[in-house]
Amino acid sequence: MPIPINLLVTPIAEVLKFMYLPLAKQISYVKDINNNSETLRRKSDELEHKLNDLKREIQRAAENGKIPTDEAIGWLGNARIVIDAALGLIKEVHQGSCCSIWCLHCCGTYQLGKKILETTDLANELLGKQINPIFVDPLREKVLPFPTLQIKENTSAGATMEKILWYLRDGETGKIGIWGQRGIGKSTILKNIYNKFEGTSDYNAIIFVKFRKNEGLMRLVKDIAEDLALDLSKEEDQERGSRLIFKELKKRKFILILDGLCEILNLTEIGIPSPSEQKGCKILMASEKREICSSMAADVEIMIDPLPMEEAWELFCDKVGNIPPEIKPIAKLVCQECSGIAALIVSLGTALRNQELFVWKKALKVLQSPKSQLVGPEKLVAAVLKEPYVDYTPESASGETSLGQLRRAPVNKVIEVIYI
């Protein structure tokens, strides 16, 4: 029985169709190589223009402290690879590296034409890709919290801290100065404020440095650099170190906390941009002297007051622990003589924990001495913890101290011993 012709023609036609399409495409690799290379050149030019525009946009963003996303960096790298590949292929066509563009058996021409179409497809893919976002804020260096006395809400120190935080959030205030006598609690407030920024994104650079008068500005520059993750350990040129800090901070929204200022400091010399020129940035400085804050152009000056008696007594009891009834009256007098100075209350309260009555009496006598106003908490505590009679070494007539002149001095000489 003869097979119907249509049953033979249809399968053959389908076979020829699948044979023709790949063959036609392969022929086009060679036949249209000049037109295809011209198309690739136009796409390469478009890609170059887009690459340059993106690089300029990233550069402008970097001046404002932004950094490019991984997607943007990846696109730039891929675009450069495609552009370089396109230029190489176009050059091959112009140099006529193949024996004849009409020679279907020329393997070189076929491979070149195929690469041109494949590279054109890659260029079209990159041109059509939308990058979003192009740049982001840099990651902030991780805040390492200070181990410090935590300031409680509804206290005088808590109210002062909230006031400072309000100015830090205020868009118009750039420099905030806090001042008050030594031991009043300035450092504790600053450390609590610093710890507040742990895990927040309000700033992408939070710097806390302690001013050390005898170590020079280079030490301060290196401390600031360390908080910015800049390695200046081998740098000895202060000016260069300051320039590196300035360059880094110009990219960031920062807060600089300067503790322990005992002299007027030129912030420009250590590479700190002015908050008035870099909106959103803040400088918080602390000193014993109000005039230092004023001379450093603080926009607002906040005085740190001594603790009220009720808060002072609560803090004192927390450090002393259980106070026996027979010691409680003198304990209240000791706390009162601390005059609301937080550092003295903490140090002395800790030192008097589990001490006997005669030590408490000695503490009160030391605190009531006129000279106690002239020494710091550490020396007062050291004086209290000495034995009832201490070794006292007067100077000889020649101004030299002789070991043979040691004698026993009564408690009322304790403060004098501190000064020797």
170-208 confidence digits (pLDDT tens): 888 899 999 998 888 899 999 999 888 866 667 778 889
Tokens found for residue 22: 């790949």
Task: Pick 37 or 144 by higher pLDDT.
Answer: 37
Q: How confident is the model at residue 401 (pLDDT cuts 50, 70, 90)?
A: very low
* Average pLDDT value for the chain: 77
Pairwise CA distance, residues 183 & 24, whole Å: 89
For the cut 50, the answer to whether the pLDDT of residue 78 exceeds it is yes
**Chain length of the chain:** 420
Quick one: average pLDDT of 83-87? 88
Place of tokens 């209350």: 345
For the cut 90, the answer to whether the pLDDT of residue 313 exceeds it is yes
pLDDT at 143: 60
Task: Pick 95 or 142 by higher pLDDT.
Answer: 95
Per-residue pLDDT tens over the stretch 100-130: 444 444 556 777 878 888 888 888 888 888 8
